[in-house]
Amino acid sequence: MARFLKKSAATIGQSPGALVFIGEQKVEEVTIKVIDYDSQHLTEQDLQDIQVGIPYKDTESVTWLNFNGVHDTDLIRQVGNGFGLHALVMDDIVNTGQRPKMDEYDDYLYFGIKMMRFDEGTEEIKSEQLSMVLGSNILLTFQERPGDVFDPVRDRIRKQKGRIRKVGIDYLAYALLDIIVANYSSIIERLGERIEEIENSILTNPSQDLLAQINNYKREMNYLRKTIRPVREFMQRIVRLDSDLIQLDTLPFLKDLLDLANQSVDVIDVYRDMLSDHLNIYNTSVNNRLNEIMKVLTIFSAIFIPLTFVAGIYGTNFDYLPELHFRYSYFIMWGVFLTASAVMVRFFRKKRWL
């Protein structure tokens, strides 16, 4: 599956809003978990049937319904019908190739954003799409697989840490967006440490493995840039949003997220420039080493050219070659060889070619 663009040939010719799953199926079955709370009470449970979760839309408490898996289009259709979602929202949920986006509807907001993690073994960035539907008292989240970065938020809800149990559903949506964007910064920092570490190796050991490492980091930084740059526009639209679903008290926190997204993009650009410099330094180092090798080979060739000339003359097969029967011809020839070599080496050193 392509990382930069998901294949969407199955949607060609389909009617607008038709539910066609685009992406890689990452779970066998969709699991549903609900967290319902207010300042005094908390309920957590796994749901076997979505029809059990639909009545939560009419409660006064804050309800977070999380779906692990988006490949089951029949289930997504049931969710959409039960919560009154537009057909285009359901289509965005099952299309995992969406860029970060925000859509406003009459009584809810739709957010789509990438959730990422860094694989230490392969040094690759893995991502999945997270879709969020924010209503007046309910938050629906759809992710591609179990396991996410939201455990600190769940822990704050369970232990009543901070203000999350005392405020509305919009603050819960902010808390999830905050940990996603903060995780971007963490991934950039960890990748950046590796990029800075290879700088000394480029000068001392510019090997093929190092070149492959630089190219791998460039690819990952390009992927980060492609994913995070649209988040700035996404956050700008949320900050400028005039909706009753976003309370005035939550806006300063969302503006802080916008600053964090801008900072992440700036740092990515710095590291991309640094990798380009690393690649230039690598090429320069390799060329310098090649020049040194060619220099030595050229000098040796220059030394042996006159020796080959002399040896060629005295190696010809003529009966009347001068000095052919002279008793000390062989030793004189070696004397000429050594003298010529010494003179040329001294000349090269005087010119600082050696």
Q: Is residue 1 part of a domain?
A: no
Residues 277 and 291 in one domain: no
Count the Cβ atoms, other than its own, within 10 Å of residue 169. Answer: 20
Residues 277 and 141 in one domain: yes
Q: Which two tokens stand for residue 270?
A: 């710095």
Give the C-alpha separation, 95 to 352, whole Å: 66
Q: Is residue 85 part of a domain?
A: yes
Q: Is residue 4 part of a domain?
A: no
Q: Is residue 267 part of a domain?
A: yes
Contacts for 339 with CB less than 8 Å, ≥ 6 apart: none
Residues 253 and 116 in one domain: yes
pLDDT score recorded for residue 14? 62
Residue at which a domain ends, from 285, 311, 342: 285
pLDDT score recorded for residue 18? 72
Amino acid at 58: D
Domain membership of residue 269 as a residue range: 14-285
Do 117 and 93 meet the contact criterion of CB atoms below 8 Å apart?
A: no
- This prediction has a pTM of 0.79
CATH assignment of the domain containing 326:
1.20.58.340
- How many structural domains is the chain composed of? 2
Residue at which a domain ends, from 250, 269, 285: 285
pLDDT score recorded for residue 340? 83
Do 92 and 20 meet the contact criterion of CB atoms below 8 Å apart?
A: no
Closest CA to 35 of 45, 26, 25, 27: 45
Q: Is residue 193 part of a domain?
A: yes
pLDDT score recorded for residue 10? 52
Residues 58 and 177 in one domain: yes
Give the C-alpha separation, 160 to 162, whole Å: 6
Residue at which a domain ends, from 285, 311, 332: 285
Residues 31 and 130 in one domain: yes
Q: Is residue 328 part of a domain?
A: yes
Q: Is residue 3 part of a domain?
A: no
CATH assignment of the domain containing 240:
3.30.460.20
In tens digits, what is the pLDDT along the chain, a chain of 354 residues?
A: 555 555 555 555 566 567 888 888 888 899 999 999 998 899 999 998 999 999 998 888 999 999 999 999 999 999 999 999 999 999 999 998 888 999 999 899 999 999 998 888 788 888 889 999 999 899 999 999 887 789 999 999 998 888 898 889 999 999 999 999 999 999 999 888 888 888 777 777 777 888 888 889 899 999 999 989 999 889 999 988 888 899 889 999 999 999 999 999 999 999 999 888 888 888 887 787 777 778 777 877 877 787 787 777 677 666 666 766 777 777 877 888 888 888 888 887 777 666
